[in-house]
Amino acid sequence: MSFTIRQARPDDSAALLLLFQEFSDYLKSINPEPSPEDDWAGPAEMERCIALSFEKDPVVATLVAEQAGRPVAYLGWHMGIFEIYKALFVAGLFVSERARGSGIGRALMEEVRRLATERGASHVAWMVWRQNPGATAFYRRLGAETYDDNFQMIWRLT
């Protein structure tokens, strides 16, 4: 089935919320007993996250992939610095189970690669949950490399 990739719009919020919930359910299926840090988002947090794409000064840009006029995948991204290089960061990618295997994930990643090049970035970077081997395999098929020199640290403010 064919698909279209476009910038998310505020009227996509309900569909994005359903995709976020499906993503959360998928992660819980990988690890049904997550640590408190892994229990990352309830409905209110998901709605707040979606709203970040539609603020006056958005923190993240979101792409959606549509099939038959319905969003079936999203990719959030933002620009930043990776070490000393301008980089595009993928904040999150999810393809609904019903749309997997159709090339949508690859097409979304190719679109952010194009956007990164257009903006003068030298890297596209993202994090992958170690317990998600399907995602790791997908990204390796794209040609991505694991960068093990660093690890993520978080300083919680709230």
pTM: 0.88
* Dihedral class, residue 40 (left if φ above 0, else alpha if ψ from -120 to 50, else beta): alpha
Given CA atoms 33, 39, 44, 46 in this order, what sign does their dihedral have? negative
User: What DSSP string describes 14-61?
Assistant: HHHHHHHHHHHHHHHHH-SS--TTT----HHHHHHHHHTTSSSS-S-E
Segment among 24-38, 55-69, 78-92, 126-140 with least mean pLDDT: 24-38
User: What does the alpha-carbon distance between residue 82 and residue 79 come to, in Å, rounded to a whole number?
Assistant: 10
pLDDT at 20 over 80: yes
Q: How many residues does the chain have?
A: 158
Please state the domain extents for the chain.
4-142
Q: What pLDDT score was predicted for residue 38? A: 52
Average pLDDT over residues 78-91: 94
DSSP class of 102: S
- Using CA atoms, how far apart are residues 149 and 17, in angstroms rounded to an integer? 34
> What is 4-142's CATH superfamily?
Gcn5-related N-acetyltransferase (GNAT) (3.40.630.30)
CB 90 within 8 A of CB 76: yes
